[in-house]
Amino acid sequence: MKKIKLALFASGNGSNALNIIDYFSFSSLIEIGFVLTNKKDAPIVELAQKKNVETLILSNDEVSNGTLLTKICLEKGIDFIILAGYLRKIPAELLTNYSNKIINVHPALLPKFGGQGMYGNKVHKAVFESEEFETGITIHFVNEHFDEGKVIAQFYCEVTKNDTIETIQAKVQKLEHNYFPIVIEKTILN
């Protein structure tokens, strides 16, 4: 039987993308088609290549081109697209062709601390400065607005007086690594 094929889009350190590659490496139902990044020096390039996963490096102009991205994904038989620390806007044509098939993880409890420009440590800094008692992750479908698509799942962690931006980041990343692959799998196979 043909496996369900995922494309991973990543522009950060790639720890989530790597974790997802490892998680599905034993799956009989789901496989990784390729990793796409808009940063040629992103650590995920080397990490994915070591795992023998095809890696596509595109320019910022190319990843803004919905026709090009759609063509690549359709030609490579991609069923779902996973944003794992991917910071560029998804073009409209790709959204239309992959409606409810693009899943993102955001490092906070949306709708708090979301929107354009809110990514990575900026989010944790904002959580820290707002003296929140909790934060977490939101896994959601992607639509035309940053961080506003339908929520699939949220997971929480405590923020205490002893926390720093770095410890908040570590707690949130742990939630991402523990839950993102499982939620992807459940959502796709539901």
Active-site residues, by number, are: 106
Partners of residue 105 on adjacent β-strands? 139
Residue from 6, 14, 56, 94 touching ligand GAR (CB under 6 A): that is: 14
Interstrand relation of 151-158 and 134-141 (parallel, antiparallel or unpaired)? antiparallel
CA quadruple 134, 157, 187, 149: dihedral, nearest 10: 20
CA distances for 33 relative to 28, 30, 154, angstroms: 14, 10, 26
Q: Which of 15, 154, 167, 187 binds ligand GAR (CB under 6 A)?
A: 15
3: DSSP letter: P
Among the candidate windows 7-15, 32-40, 53-61, 89-97, which touches ligand GAR by CB under 6 A? 7-15
- Position 6 contacts ligand GAR (CB under 6 A): no
Neighbours of 149 (CB within 10 A): 21
Does position 12 bind ligand GAR by CB under 6 A?
Answer: yes
Using CB under 6 A, which residues numbered 128 to 157 contact ligand GAR?
A: none
173 close to 84: Cβ distance less than 8 angstroms: no
Identify the residue among 36, 48, 95, 106 touching ligand GAR (CB under 6 A).
106
Hey, which residues between 26 and 45 contact ligand GAR (CB under 6 A)? Answer: none
Query: What are the residues binding ligand GAR (CB under 6 A)?
Result: 10, 12-16, 84-85, 105-107, 119-120, 123, 173, 176
